[in-house]
Structure 1
């Protein structure tokens, strides 16, 4: 059996593992991870080292290639990272085609006009996830619009005829709901989750089962900060929120899907009291530089937080063959192809 010195030497021999410091090695030793086998087999290495789960998975793959050269141990580690399913076949196909499968640690944005079906899609994703993965992998639904509808969730579950009454109750119990109607309460809710997950006894508590966070919607908390007076406060809010989300995603492997409304420049100027630049003769006006930056939904900074942005909208007339049809398109993808779409339908059984 190899000793601690050999684990260090094997890590240093890998392209990604050699980036680990002596401090990282000591963290592993404190958790009794002293062999390559233990490193590969551990599920919480990314949490111990405070690294992205994708980074530790890459180290495991590289380490396994070296390790297997000495000991035939291929069955120890599944080479592909865990991918969740959205439970919507066409959506999963779209995500695979653009290199963005639903995976732990992802941070996605779902945008669209009011009443287009964003909340219905988030409700469906919550139900599909707990139905597939059971009580051990739960959902946190953060309701900022006071639109969460437990009766609607039950209706969707009742449409799945194969589910018993007990299974429906278990699925509903696995969807945790928090109401947060202000920026402060939203940050407080996620900070509380982060604090609980970081506690030494977290693995023995129900909070450790939360693997997906759905926020419906961030716009409701942010919209009051879009005036020229509140813009700087709004940016501080987004920065603090992004830091908490990244910690939950990177350190604890939680996947986020964040709903947002669509903004247009006209809406922002006329309704939100944005500043205008007036020429010296008091003639024509135009938006300030800050207004132009922010009219892209939540601004350019927020685009760097979410690795994937999807827009849900009504399809054009050529695709309209009945009520409930929606078009889901890729607007931005930091990990792959930035173009693609699929048609979804809102039904009694949710979005399909």
Structure 2
């Protein structure tokens, strides 16, 4: 009956086919003619419907013409996946090679030891994103480390030899939220989700936010690593995961979440030890961050920013490695360089 309904609607959309009455539709149904193909290929259909042969041929011609135009329209306007350039050629090449370019709805994690350059990379990605997007799309930079540096963004933009007006416009499109505590981070994301839901159909610019950078999640989660607050930590991660996935899936926002790595022998610090955690170079998907095994299933891509081997003397070089990838190839790496113009 669904095909029959489709055939009827198509007939009514043609000029001559509008003369087909409900009585004719019932006759077609009795003849088991329910699709356009069956209608066009039926023999002596004009006699069965008591219509002239010329009129029936005209209906078939108009019907076929309508179907062809609809197929072409669907093909021309079929939505292609939107991919964002990171503005870093080596990184874009790596993402293409592993089958996971930066797209709306993606949730990525960037891990690495302290002072390796994760914040600098996030600053660079924020600048490159607004420069690459011509339709006023915005970045939300969530600063939990109090490391956000607007002067550094201004410096990176000036290295691009932009006008003062362009620089001001790009800086205006990078929104900053400071959230040192886990509750503040969660509340800010929940507030954004609520505003996005209520702003549908309105001109509120909150709907222009297409990329959220969090630097870093481990900074605001560290107080939950004691055995006393373990359940609170799990509850926080559960709520955070829910709101992140809603923002990603329902509103097409991409996430890149910074996190700090640690080694297994430091796990005892989670048992209430107040000794400061030291960071090592060991980076494994199974033990790569402060957030535990639960978090490892949240992000579709985990990237590790690391210092190069000792044999490489240049201090401004970094290697970005793929630790895990749920959408494609799980191995790969690229070289990045720290410069006055950001990471390139």
Task: Provide TM-score, normalisation by structure 2.
Answer: 0.74
- Alignment deviations for residues 187-239 of structure 1 (CA, whole Å, 9 cap, x no partner): 00000100000004564101010000000000011111111111111111000
Conserved 8 A contact 2:111-2:288: no
2:164 is aligned to 165
Cα distance change, pair 101–68 in 1 and its aligned pair in 2 (3 A) = farther
Cα distance change, pair 6–218 in 1 and its aligned pair in 2 (3 A) = farther
Q: CA RMSD in A?
A: 2.5
How many aligned positions are there? 273
Cα distance change, pair 135–72 in 1 and its aligned pair in 2 (3 A) = closer
Cα distance, 1:333 vs structure 2: 0.4
- Alignment deviations for residues 233-281 of structure 1 (CA, whole Å, 9 cap, x no partner): 1111000000000000000000000000002122221x33369xxxxxx
> What are the within-5 Å matches in structure 2 for residues 338-349 of structure 1?
338-349=330-341
Q: Does 1:241 align with 2:233?
A: no
2:216 is aligned to 217
In the alignment, which of 327, 333, 337 is matched to residue 329 of structure 2? 337
Q: Does 1:313 align with 2:301?
A: no
Conserved 8 A contact 1:134-1:174: no
2:255 aligns to what SS in structure 1?
strand
2:131 is aligned to 131
> What are the within-5 Å matches in structure 2 for residues 4-153 of structure 1?
6=6, 71-73=71-73, 76-134=76-134, 136-153=136-153
2:207 is aligned to 208
Conserved 8 A contact 1:268-1:295: no
Conserved 8 A contact 1:110-1:258: yes
Cα distance, 1:135 vs structure 2: 5.7
2:41 is aligned to none
Cα distance change, pair 240–78 in 1 and its aligned pair in 2 (3 A) = same
Larger Rg: 2
Conserved 8 A contact 2:111-2:261: yes
Q: How many Å separate the matches in 1 of 2:288 and 2:169?
A: 40
Q: How many Å separate the matches in 1 of 2:101 and 2:173?
A: 23
Conserved 8 A contact 2:82-2:103: yes
Conserved 8 A contact 2:138-2:210: yes
Cα distance change, pair 69–302 in 1 and its aligned pair in 2 (3 A) = farther
2:317 is aligned to 325
Q: How many Å separate the matches in 1 of 2:68 and 2:128?
A: 38
Task: Provide TM-score, normalisation by structure 1.
Answer: 0.73
Q: How many Å separate the matches in 2 of 1:334 and 1:173?
A: 34
> What are the within-5 Å matches in structure 2 for residues 273-284 of structure 1?
273=271
1:261 is aligned to 260
Cα distance, 1:338 vs structure 2: 0.5
Conserved 8 A contact 1:139-1:213: yes
Structure 2 gaps, min length 5: 11-66, 274-284
Cα distance change, pair 268–89 in 1 and its aligned pair in 2 (3 A) = same
Q: How many Å separate the matches in 1 of 2:68 and 2:266?
A: 59
Q: How many Å separate the matches in 2 of 1:321 and 1:327?
A: 13
Of 304-313 and 196-205, more deviation after overlay is shown by 196-205
Q: How many Å separate the matches in 2 of 1:164 and 1:154?
A: 11
1:45 is aligned to none
1:86 aligns to what SS in structure 2?
coil
In the alignment, which of 294, 307, 322 is matched to residue 301 of structure 1? 294
